[in-house]
Structure 1
């Protein structure tokens, strides 16, 4: 079972572009990545799913 998700996977999951993802992070409280600074961002799938459940409507 996969535990983390990368930028390309987030973009594919929501069918959005990179700019939309960064806007979501700024304006829609999208979870912050758990990766260290200066590393490629990745997120916990559980954080993404929690965000989805809180924003489903």
Structure 2
């Protein structure tokens, strides 16, 4: 299993488009990419899973 996710991995994981991901990154406390600021964004799987856990209703 991958431990680093690219943009397309995130889009496929949630079945959303780029605009939705952009909105999540701007307002929904989505994890910050681990890549340098001007590079293509990449996220750690553990950060995404933590975000999922914190955004699910109990």
User: How many angstroms apart in 2 are the aligned matches of 1:33 and 1:45?
Assistant: 11
Consecutive unaligned residues in structure 1, runs of 5 or more: none
Residue 11 (structure 1) shift:
0.2
Consecutive unaligned residues in structure 2, runs of 5 or more: none
Q: Detail structure 1 runs of 4+ shifted over 3 Å in the superposition.
A: none
Q: Does 1:37 align with 2:28?
A: no
Q: TM-score if structure 2 supplies the norm length?
A: 0.91
Q: TM-score if structure 1 supplies the norm length?
A: 0.92
Count of aligned pairs: 57
